[in-house]
Amino acid sequence: EVQLLDSGGDLVQPGGSLRLSCAASGFTFSTYGMSWVRQAPGKGLEWVSSISPSGGGTYYADSVKGRFTISRDNSMNTLYLQTNSLGADDTAVYYCATGYRSVGGYWGQGTLVTVSS
């Protein structure tokens, strides 16, 4: 059974940082592109970032470029999102998902990032 377990969300002050993780199981992680998608409270879905299966290709939304870094550890079957210089607009549930073209065959349960003083 495919499982994606998101973690790392927390309450953080403006300007702070968090590292989000997504632990994958039940499929050959190293052969899948992966993505992060977020959803602000009461809002729609927003694509944040994607990474190729090898990790050699990374892609970002303009709203996070230069502040967020996506990475993966294929030996640990884990996807990461390092988030820096967080602002109120980054408050959202962050989901990891499989794929980076046909995104979203599988989704994590989401992890909540709240940016507030």
Binding site for other proteins (CB under 8 A): 35, 37, 44-47, 50, 59-62, 95, 97, 99-105, 107-110
Q: How far apart are CA 49 and CA 61, in angstroms?
A: 6
Q: Which is nearer to other proteins, 16 or 55 (CB)?
A: 55
Cβ(7)–Cβ(23) below 8 Å: yes
Parallel/antiparallel/unpaired status of strands 111-115 and 11-12: parallel
Distance CA 10, CA 18 (A): 8
CB of 85 to other proteins, least distance (A): 19
Three-state DSSP class for 64?
coil
Yes or no: say if 16 and 115 are a contact pair by the CB < 8 Å rule.
Answer: yes
Distance CA 24, CA 62 (A): 27
> Smallest distance, Å, CB 13 to other proteins?
27
What's the min distance (Å) between Cβ of 35 and other proteins?
A: 7
Q: Given the complex with other proteins, which of 2 and 11 has the nearer CB atom?
A: 2
- In the complex with other proteins, the residue whose CB is nearer, 46 or 91, is 46
Q: Given the complex with other proteins, which of 86 and 97 has the nearer CB atom?
A: 97
* Least separation in angstroms between CB 58 and other proteins: 11
